[in-house]
């Protein structure tokens, strides 16, 4: 059963509305497998929306909308022929694989008619889940290599983009990468590849965390060993080296580059003053509240916004969708993220505003321009 909410459901649903979206919010319920999900198609000005399908039990509609808007801005900033959307399946991603497949296939059939939404992988879903969706409706990105996909998490598309953003900051603001101390919150697909690509550029990973703890070492952590630990289903807190502290100790670690790569709003008014870094590269989506971004700006900490810094994944997905190759994806990520990061930092400096304000202005201009060329978008 799929229902598109209208004004009859109460005008409260329109509290997110502005001149660019959301175009539609769809609630999905399939009692046969207890599927409950929402899809937010925020904007389709430049083309059908692309955005991740998240599986989590604790995401609100407001959060889903913010994530969809972040995709609109990200896709526009990256100059892709796609708008932004997002979907959430309300469930625990740690369920048994057969139940997960049933749920995701049911979700796929329910979004089959929402042709202006192209699902991609997100927290709690992966390439395999996208293969199931593709199998059901022939429309998904982030597919396994065997299905013609460019496995963006396996190749580290987003982590690569974060390293390119760091290079652009180096050119622009002089925060050098050689010897830079890096702390990564969330050593998953984004976090570990970011650490790896930055290490290739001479940076040193001095701290990393996951949902169970923070691991630190002033001399640098062995990224390959940590990756092997995570691949074996263990926590960084189980590492036989480094010093273990509690999960949120990562926030106050002394470093040059701090990378949130886990959950939303991890930097907020209550903890941002504890941050001890010169540059924040936003790997996670919406990892900092408005208050936190303002604080960082006043404190002279450069914070490269999520939809500029972490666009590598969606750029890769768009290259895949349009039939491109892995090397074309890497070169598109490099070109787009380098030039966008520079443009945003220059505009932020000229207007004396936080980088996010500059980035939003730049992306909104592109969305409005694309919309102006359409009859209904």
Active-site annotation, residues: 86
Task: Check if the beta carbon of residue 136 is closer than 8 Å to that of residue 107.
Answer: no
Are the C-beta atoms of 35 and 61 separated by less than 8 Å?
A: no
Please report where in the chains the tokens 């022939």 appear, as a residue.
138
Of 219, 278, 274, give the one whose Cα is nearest residue 248: 274
Rounded to 5 degrees, φ, ψ at 259 are -120, 105
User: Would you tell me how many other CB atoms lie within 10 Å of the CB of residue 234?
Assistant: 14
Write out the binding residues for ligand NAD, residues 102-131 only, by CB under 6 A.
122-123
For ligand NAD, the closer CB: 261 or 292: 261
Given candidates 79, 112, 144, 188, which one binds ligand NAD under the rule CB under 6 A? 188
Whether the bond between 22 and the residue before it is cis, its omega within 30 degrees of 0, is yes
Q: Which is nearer to ligand NAD, 282 or 371 (CB)?
A: 282
Token pair recorded at residue 343:
């443009």
53 is a site residue for ligand NAD (CB under 6 A): no
**Is residue 87 a contact point for ligand NAD (CB under 6 A)?**
no
Q: Confirm or reject binding of residue 41 to ligand NAD (CB under 6 A).
A: no
> Of 20-28, 272-280, 282-290, 330-338, which segment contacts ligand NAD by CB under 6 A?
282-290
Can residue 36 be called a binding residue for ligand NAD (CB under 6 A)?
A: no
Query: By C-beta, is 246 or 351 nearer to ligand NAD?
Result: 246
Query: φ and ψ at 53, to 5 degrees?
Result: -105, 110
d(CA 326, CA 333) in angstroms, rounded, equals: 11
Which of 77, 152, 237, 279 touches ligand NAD (CB under 6 A)? Answer: 152
Instruction: Pick one of 125, 285, 303, 341: the residue that binds ligand NAD (CB under 6 A).
Output: 285
Distance in Å, CB of 165 to ligand NAD, minimum:
12
211 contributes a contact to ligand NAD by CB under 6 A: yes
Q: Which residues pair with 254 in a beta bridge?
A: 276
Q: Looking at 53, 75, 106, 185, which residue binds ligand NAD (CB under 6 A)?
A: 185
Which tokens go with 129?
């889940």
- Kindly tell me the burial class for residue 111, based on how many C-beta atoms sit within 10 Å of its own C-beta (0-12, 13-18, 19 or more): buried
Distance between CA atoms of 103 and 54, rounded to whole angstroms? 13
Tell me, by CB under 6 A, how many residues bind ligand NAD. 24
**Nearest-CB residue to ligand NAD?**
188
User: Can residue 196 be called a binding residue for ligand NAD (CB under 6 A)?
Assistant: no
3-state secondary structure of 314: helix
How near is the Cβ of 87 to ligand NAD at its closest, in Å?
Answer: 12
Q: Is 304 in the site for ligand NAD (CB under 6 A)?
A: no
* Per CB under 6 A, 263 contacts ligand NAD: yes
Which residues are CB-neighbours of 62 under 8 A, at least 6 positions away?
A: 16
Three-class SS state of 355 = helix
Annotate each residue in 223-262 with x if it binds ligand NAD (CB under 6 A) or - if it does not, as one string: ------------------------x-------------xx
Q: What are phi and psi of 303, to 5 degrees?
A: -125, 110
| Least distance from ligand NAD to the Cβ atom of residue 370, Å | 22
Q: Using the rule CB under 6 A, is 75 a contact of ligand NAD?
A: no
DSSP-derived letter for residue 273 is G
Q: Which residues bind ligand NAD (CB under 6 A)?
A: 122-123, 152-153, 158, 185-191, 209-211, 247, 261-263, 283-285, 310, 313
């Amino acid at each position: 059963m799929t229902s598109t909410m209208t004004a009859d459901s109460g005008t409260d649903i329109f509290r997110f509305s502005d001149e660019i979206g959301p175009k539609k919010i769809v609630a999905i319920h399939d009692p046969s497998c207890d599927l409950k999900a929402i899809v937010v198609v925020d904007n389709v000005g430049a083309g059908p929306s692309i955005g991740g399908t998240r599986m989590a039990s604790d995401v609100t509609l407001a959060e889903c909308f913010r994530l969809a808007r972040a995709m609109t801005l990200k896709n526009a900033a990256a100059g892709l022929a796609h708008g932004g959307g997002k979907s959430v399946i309300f469930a625990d991603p740690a369920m048994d694989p057969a139940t997960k497949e049933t749920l995701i296939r049911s979700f796929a059939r329910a979004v089959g008619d929402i042709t202006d939404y192209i699902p991609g992988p997100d927290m709690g879903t992966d390439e395999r889940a996208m293969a199931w969706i593709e199998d059901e409706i022939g429309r998904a990105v982030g597919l396994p290599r065997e299905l013609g996909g460019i496995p963006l998490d396996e190749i580290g598309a987003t982590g690569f983009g974060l390293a390119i953003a760091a290079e652009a900051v180096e050119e622009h603001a002089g925060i050098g990468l050689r010897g830079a101390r890096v702390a990564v919150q969330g050593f998953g697909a984004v976090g570990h590849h970011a650490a790896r690509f930055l290490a290739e550029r001479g940076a040193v990973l001095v701290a990393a965390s996951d949902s169970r703890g923070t691991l630190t070492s002033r001399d640098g952590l062995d990224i390959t060993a940590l990756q092997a630990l995570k691949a074996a289903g263990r926590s960084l807190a189980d590492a036989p080296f480094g010093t273990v502290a509690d999960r949120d100790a990562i926030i106050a670690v002394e470093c040059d580059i701090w990378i949130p790569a886990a959950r939303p709003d991890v930097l907020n008014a209550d903890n941002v003053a504890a941050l001890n870094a010169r540059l924040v590269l936003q790997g996670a989506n919406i990892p900092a509240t408005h208050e936190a971004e303002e604080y960082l700006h006043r404190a002279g900490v450069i914070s490269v916004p999520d939809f500029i810094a972490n666009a590598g994944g969606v750029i890769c997905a768009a290259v895949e969708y349009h039939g491109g190759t892995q090397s074309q994806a890497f070169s598109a990520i490099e070109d787009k993220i380098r030039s966008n990061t520079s443009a945003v930092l220059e505009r932020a400096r000229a207007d004396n505003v936080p980088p996010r304000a500059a980035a939003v202005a730049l992306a909104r201009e592109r969305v409005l321009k694309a919309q102006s060329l359409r009859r209904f978008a």
